[in-house]
Amino acid sequence: MNAKPDARRIRLCILISIVWLISVSHGSNTHAQSFTRVTDVGPIVTDQILSTGAAWNDINGDGFLDMFALGETQNLLYVNDGDGTFTAQTSGNFLTPEGVGNAALWADYNNDGFQDLFISNFVTMAGGTQLASNALFRNSGPPDYTLEMVNIGPELNASPSASWVDYDQDGDVDLFSAGARVEVGGEATGDLFYRQDAGGVFTRIEFLPFTALRPGVGTHDTWVDYDGDGDQDLFVVIWSSTNKLYKSLLEESGNPNRFDVVTTSGLTTDGAVSDIGSSWGDYDDDGDFDVFIPILSSSDRLYRNDGDGTFTRITSTPVTSGRSVMGVWGDADNDGDLDLYTGSRSPVLYVNDGNGGFEAVPASEDGDLSLPPPALQGGNWGDYDNDGDLDLFLLTYAIPANRDGSPQPNHLLRNDGGTANHWITIQCVGALSNRSAIGARVSVKRTVNGIPKWQHRMISGGTTSFVFHGDNRAHFGLGEASVVDSIRIAWPSGIEQVAVNEDVDQILTIVEEIPDGFSRANFYADQTAASGQSSLTVQFTDASLVDPNNQVVSWEWDLDGDGSNDAFIQNPTWTYSVSEDIAFSVRLTISNGVTSSTLLREEYITFEGVSTGADEQDAVLPQEIKLGQNYPNPFNPTTKIPISVRSTVDVQLNIYDVLGKRERRLFSGTLLPGTYSLSWDSTRDDGSHVASGMYLYELATSRGVKMYGRLMLVR
């Protein structure tokens, strides 16, 4: 699957290491859970391919989990028939790989209600050296639910991992694709990050801390709010090098492009180990997310989140006694706390005792669960039969564990229950937030014997433990509780929603409720950094989230951080001209007539390496042309707009309504140095009179400078 001997050795090392993993000792457990390997549910368990990745998802919206499996030479989609069996879909260009895929990720990227598919590819063919392009497929919806390829960009990249995330919290998902950091054709491949703008348009963002070149192979990435501040941070597992943790400064600065590289968390001190993935879950139910890291070359790692931005490595636990290729959290026995399955030559289910400790389920009590699949690649939980307990799908490779070996069927392990414990599964549907609710935090409270207990889950847009995207429904075991006391969802939009007294033993869909008059200012710019230049023209786009019944009626933009408003339209353009390195903060205040909201992005527009040579001083600078406030204001029916010019320049002066429709072009021509006063008699270009209300005036120069003012007509 890989691109040259160095890269290929990584894959082969992973496969061979799995085969030679040492056995993990088993303990005793009174909460045994039995699993059965099913062999009569269709081609999902009989097709033989060199499996490289997989993902659970409901592609057709019928309420049952379907399975998409990546292979080195073919991809497979198994549609759940709803009766415990699966049917293979045999047509579609997504079944013919663009390359050797590692990660398959589902998300409703265009918020149309149907799950779309992204595939991160490594190289064009197994064992080859040519880089592959990643692939995005849009779900057409009913009746056929076909997957149609969408052009996301021309970049070729060796991408062993990827993840969806709404990093700027604008209501649609963005996309991160990790680079392999291997030499291919003499060039190092890097990380890719695509910000999604309105209308499903993806823009590659290059100037981010986590897209900088680094050693090693980014085998796995997870976006997780590890510090509980409400924004999405990034943890990257790097094969044979130090792992990286990037803290988002969105909440602190308002700028989604600002990240701190965290070196004091305790997660990035292991150095060069053969770690291959990470699995995040709140195993101790203290409200923050902990992480299990499987390691092929030494003992697995468990890190407890201490709630202060740091993690403690837990060594006195059996879950770190093995060497694993994967580990996945899930409440396998529905007793109300997270258990852990670790996959290796000797797979083990560790049952949580409710106090932060774990016991290994003996092989004699787990049915087929501890039977090792040949050359295990990964796996994840998913309740495919909707009976309320978590089943397990495991990816296999070949016997022996190399490309010349015999491909093997994947394994589906049905959870046979064995307890009378209750459960609830929650399907979150975003409204202002992204439709897939990626980045949402779901919390459930139950009471047993008079003692209340909270559990917490996160809705993830990435794979768990290397190559498997799990079920994005939030599953909770409830033990003996007969009712769900409370469900609390913290949506990416900032809305918090609570439901109370819900029935147990159900799959519950919760749609994001938008409070009356809700408003949350948000925006982005088409570019935010200038290097080696003294001028930059920026297009700003309002991405605010508001109650659909109360749309935005006014915008106030401070585009240069001087405390005064520079624009009053929804999507202004602004030209910055500087003579030295500087950073500008940008502020947007919106109002929908019910509520108002302000967002300040600190040091959002940056200039570096600015030259002060005389040859760069011939541009018209904003300070050389000034647009004054109209007078009188309010007015009826005539007002004057002052302009002062220090050098000859071509300009246009236009009048717009608050929705951006041009009403009148007052002037278009050349102004010589001097002071001018242009009159508007409240008429349109066609001579008709405008109605009372607020209007905006825009002065635009031929050099790209634009300035704005606001005026009020009262008849």
Within 10 angstroms of residue 541's Cβ, the number of other Cβ atoms is 15
- Place 175 in a pLDDT band, splitting at 50, 70 and 90: very high
pLDDT for 703 equals 73
Distance between first and last Cα of the chain: 73
Domains and CATH numbers, the chain: 35-415 (2.130.10.10), 423-511 (2.60.40), 519-607 (2.60.40.10), 626-713 (2.60.40.4070)
- Per-residue confidence (pLDDT) for residue 661, from 0 to 100: 86
The confidence score (pLDDT) of residue 27 equals 29
Give the residue with greater pLDDT, 361 vs 219: 361
- The side-by-side arrangement of strands in the sheet containing 529-531 is 529-531, 596-608, 582-591, 554-558
Q: How far apart are CA 569 and CA 699, in angstroms?
A: 13
Locate all alpha helices (DSSP H) within 72-212, ordered by sequence: none
Distance CA 666, CA 676 (A): 13
What local confidence, expressed as pLDDT, does residue 401 receive? 75
Task: Tell me if residue 251 falls in helix, strand or coil.
Answer: helix
Q: Which three-class secondary structure string do you get for 327-363?
A: EEEECCCCCCCCEEEEECCCCEEEEECCCCCEEECCC
Q: Which residues contact 653 (CB under 8 A, 6 or more apart)?
A: 641, 643, 665, 666, 667, 668, 678, 697, 698, 699
pLDDT tens for each residue of 586-628: 999 999 999 999 999 988 999 988 875 544 444 444 456 888 8
Residue 336: predicted pLDDT: 96
DSSP for residue 23 = P
Percent of the chain clearing pLDDT 90 (strictly above): 57
The count of other CB atoms within 10 Å of the CB of residue 193 is: 22
**By the 8 A CB rule, do 478 and 334 touch?**
yes
pLDDT tier, 47 (very low <50, low <70, confident <90, very high otherwise): very high
pLDDT in tens, 56-67: 999 999 999 999
pLDDT at residue 72, as a whole number: 85
State the pTM of this model.
Answer: 0.81
Split at pLDDT 50, 70, 90, the class of 219 is confident
Confidence of residue 449 (pLDDT cuts 50, 70, 90): confident
Give the integer Cα–Cα distance in Å for 1 and 403: 9
Largest CA distance in the chain: 93
Mean pLDDT over 34-56 rounds to: 94
**Is the predicted pLDDT of residue 298 greater than 60, yes or no?**
yes
Indicate the residue type of 443. S
Residue 189 is predicted with a pLDDT of 62
Which range is least confidently modeled, 215-229, 317-331, 378-392, 432-446? 215-229
Stretch 312-319: mean pLDDT, rounded?
95
- How far CA 252 is from CA of 79, 427, 604, in Å, comes to 44, 30, 13
Q: b or e along 389-406 (b: 16 or more beta carbons within 10 Å of the residue's beta carbon)?
A: bbbbbbbbbbeebebeee
Of 45 and 215, the one with more pLDDT: 45
Nearest partner of 395 among 39, 694, 68, judged by Cα: 68
Give the residue among 136, 164, 135 at the shortest CA–CA distance from 223. 164
Task: Give the tens place of pLDDT for each residue, 617-657.
Answer: 444 444 568 888 888 888 999 999 988 888 888 899 999 98
Give the C-alpha separation, 633 to 667, whole Å. Answer: 20
Share of the chain above pLDDT 70, in %: 89
Beta strands in 337-473, from DSSP E residues, in sequence order: 339-343, 348-352, 358-360, 378-382, 391-395, 398-399, 406-409, 411-415, 422-429, 441-448, 451-458, 468-469
Q: How far apart are CA 556 and CA 568, in angstroms?
A: 5
Mean pLDDT lowest among 372-381, 509-518, 552-561:
372-381
Pick 457 or 240 by higher pLDDT. 457
CA distances (Å), origin 565, targets 125, 297, 556, 557: 55, 58, 6, 5
| pLDDT tens for each residue of 63-110 | 999 999 998 888 999 999 999 999 999 888 888 877 777 889 999 999
pLDDT value at 139 more than 80: yes
The Cα-based distances of 348 to 331, 339, 341, 384, 415 in angstroms read: 14, 11, 6, 21, 15
